[in-house]
Amino acid sequence: MRLLEKLLIVGILILFAAFSFWLQMGIEDRPEREEDPRARHDPDYYIENFTTTGMDETGHPRYVLKAERLVHYPDDNTALLDKPCLTQFEPGEAPTRTCAESGWVSPDGEEVLLDGNVRVVQEGSAAGAGGVATTDRMRIRLKDKALK
């Protein structure tokens, strides 16, 4: 190997070493970025064996929502439900019970999305025989804001 080739190889190695050192210094000098915790989608609380009751203007139950677990997210004020069951009451009618594997509650508490093996059971009464319906997903609009 000639002297010129050796000097070229040493020069290239010195350039690589200097570049590596410069990259390392750039990483170490960079200030840590602190994330705003409100920007993350992390739960702030959860409730086991959750139950809430929505009442009508006369104080009678309009619905009862139960779930094995509720997880609340403060960034968008939504909640996730594990194994939710919603029982709805209408005057003069038998209760309607809707259960699913999971659910989601909207920020205003007026909407519940049920997902996975949704089963709706309308109990029989003097007004009718009742029935059962099944689906994969269901959206239920509630008339009051008791789920906030």
Amino acid, res. 107: P
- Do 19 and 59 have their domain in common? no
Specify if 147 maps to a domain. no
Only one residue has tokens 């309009």, namely: 62
Specify the pLDDT at position 97: 95
Nearest to 79 by CA among 46, 33, 123, 54: 46
- Do 131 and 61 have their domain in common? yes
Distance, in Å, from the CA atom of 89 to the CA atom of 92, rounded to the nearest integer, reads 9
Q: Specify the DSSP class assigned to residue 63.
A: E
- Do 95 and 137 have their domain in common? yes
The answer to whether 105 and 79 are in contact (CB under 8 A) is: yes
Domain that holds residue 2: 1-33
Structure tokens at 34: 């602190």
- Do 97 and 130 have their domain in common? yes
Summarize pLDDT for 66-85 with one digit per residue, the tens.
999 999 998 888 999 999 99
Specify the pLDDT at position 42: 81
Sign of CA dihedral 81, 84, 86, 87: negative
Rounded to two decimals, the pTM is: 0.67
Specify if 148 maps to a domain. no
The answer to whether 81 and 72 are in contact (CB under 8 A) is: no
63 C-beta neighbours (distance < 10 Å), count: 24
Specify the pLDDT at position 96: 92
The answer to whether 114 and 84 are in contact (CB under 8 A) is: yes
- CATH no. for residue 94? 2.60.450.10
- The total of structural domains in the chain comes to 2
Summarize pLDDT for 98-117 with one digit per residue, the tens.
999 999 999 988 899 999 99
- Do 115 and 102 have their domain in common? yes
How many residues would you count in the chain?
Answer: 148
Q: Which residues of the chain have pLDDT under 70?
A: 1, 27-39, 126-127, 143-148
Q: What angle do CA 66, 67, 69 make, to 5 degrees?
A: 145
Specify if 123 maps to a domain. yes
- Do 87 and 22 have their domain in common? no
- Do 24 and 46 have their domain in common? no
